[in-house]
Chains A and B, each alone.
Chain A
Amino acid sequence: MDTQDLSIAEMGRMLRAGTVTAGTLARDALARITARDGALHAFVLVTEDRALADARRADDELKSGRDRGPFHGIPYALKDIYDTAGIRTTCHSKLRLHNVPKEDSVAAARLREAGGVLLGKLATHEFAIGGPSFDLPFPPARNPWNPDHITGGSSSGSSTSIAARMVRMAMGSDTGGSIRGPAAWCGTVGIKPTYGRVSRRGVFPLSWTLDHIGPLSRSVEDAAITLQVLAGHDPRDPASADVPVPDYRADLEKGVAGLRIGIPRAFFATAKAITQEVVAGIDRTAAQLRAAGAVVEDIQLPDYALFSAVGRVIMMAEAFAIHEADMQTRLLDYGEITAGRFVLGAAITAADLIHAQRARRELTDAVNAALSRYDALLTLSALNTAPRFDQPTDALSSASPIQTIPFNVTGHPAMSVPIGLGASGLPIGVQIVGRAFDEPMVFRIGRAVERLSGWESVTLPGG
């Protein structure tokens, strides 16, 4: 039996039936990391002792009748911007290479309390923005579908570890698409929950009003189980919403009959970098949803360029405020891409930022209005498949093939789901966007897309 292909729910059933132990799951995952990560660089730190201790605790508790729920005994990993008590947390940066937090981030604490087994800390673009780069303390993660290609970022190690079948779930963060972008390019599920749904406390900030944290995972169900652990009010996170947490698995298999889904086609149809195979992919998904009983039609939203401008101005201004002192005194300790991006924040005026915040209100109202007529939106996660490392790109340009930032600006929940492989053998993903706090609808449609696309029968790389 290859435990790496068991879903979180299947692992849970077998743990409770006594047909597998958390120790076996952890050792299998650690063996897989040892075998594959030398070439892929998903992990910056493997916490083997912690994993085996967590697994022993999980097994002992189940034997003694203590069951912490669906995440009990499940291996997972954390992007290296999540504080972990007593475990180095570097942000993939020279500036924090020796940082050892005293406390867990709220997400890490919740996963530990739910019985999870921590395998280690994962590669990221420096401070969740600067990459892929070769001038940082750790190498960039590589795409398991073809290691000559990038993963997307910034949750690069998270997507690599899942696509390489090292782990079923890895935590990421998403300020402009850092969960959904790598999820799309590596063929994993990745959800950015509603702003305020999951506490950000203890996760190093990139931009306070755009940062979201959430899971990348092998399946929609894995994501729903994980969000159940993470969601909830945290009075010490000023953005945390005091909103009831529903059962995220309750509607998973309800299908899409009768649902109304809008496609903001102009977002991608006129983009310079668009590739026809991803357009064919979203059109195939729309046809499958229609055949399953949904109404799917094109809609109009404000120009993508406006969403992008608002997101970038706010992100750069907030990021510069966070890094101002180090930028003034330690600029050369940042990677070149990171510094090049953060410097732009110093060029944004107060009026620029306030105009962006005024536009943010307009754009959020526009998406809310669309979602008053539709149950969800469907759009592309990226305009293409993952580029090669050696493909010339302007790392400092605003032109990005990742099409995710509109929903960081508006805060709506958005999930990337893989739908197939392009001609190069690299994954393509689509993005499902829901009303605020309506993650159950996002999961429901995502599960239908996952099933209808045939993704579940795709063999993962190295399988």
Chain B
Amino acid sequence: MTETPSPDALAAEFDCLMARAGIMVPPQRRTAALTAYADLRGQIALLHGRYGPEAEPSNVFRLVPQGGK
């Protein structure tokens, strides 16, 4: 996710993700959606390769005894 794909590869990747999710993007909205996806992909690249295995996500939870806080 860190490399920048070619426009064709980006479009193929987007189409694959949409198909997997069962989303039909209308042709007239596809160009804007692809631009937005490229932008999001750039943001996602900031998040990858940043942490070692010891870094835990924010939604790791803890249990408390019944009645505790």
B-binding residues in A (CB < 8 A):
209, 242, 305-306, 308-310, 312-313, 316, 320, 324, 327-328, 331-332, 336, 339-341, 343-344, 346-349, 351-352, 354-362, 364, 394, 396-398
Contacts and interface: CB of A to CB of B under 8 A. Distances in A.
A309 B46 contact: yes
B43 interface: yes
Contact of B21 (A346, A355, A396, A397): A346
A358 B57 contact: yes
Interface of B: 1, 14, 17-18, 20-26, 29, 32-33, 35-37, 39-44, 46-48, 50-51, 55-59, 69
A309 B46 CA distance: 7
Given A336-B29, A346-B23, 11 more contacts: A309-B47, A310-B47, A316-B40, A346-B17, A347-B37, A348-B44, A352-B44, A355-B50, A358-B56, A359-B50, A396-B35
Given A346-B18, A361-B57, A339 B29 contact: yes
Contacts of A397: 35-36, 39
9 contacts: A331-B24, A343-B18, A344-B36, A346-B18, A361-B55, A396-B32, A396-B36, A397-B39, A398-B40
B35 to A, nearest CB: 7
Contacts of B18: 343, 346-347
Nearest to A349: B1
Contacts of A394: 35
A360 B56 CA distance: 10
Contacts of A332: 26
A9 to B, nearest CB: 34
Contacts, number: 111
A355 B39 contact: no
Given A242-B69, A346-B18, A347-B14, A305 B46 contact: yes
B25 to A, nearest CB: 6
A309 B43 contact: yes
Contacts of B56: 358, 361
A436 B14 CA distance: 39
B1 to A, nearest CB: 7
Given A340-B36, A358-B56, A324 B21 contact: yes
Contact of A313 (B24, B43, B58, B59): B43
Contacts of A327: 21, 23
Contacts of B55: 358, 361-362
B58 to A, nearest CB: 4
A348 B43 CA distance: 11
B69 to A, nearest CB: 6
Nearest to B14: A347
Nearest to A360: B58
Contacts of A306: 46-47
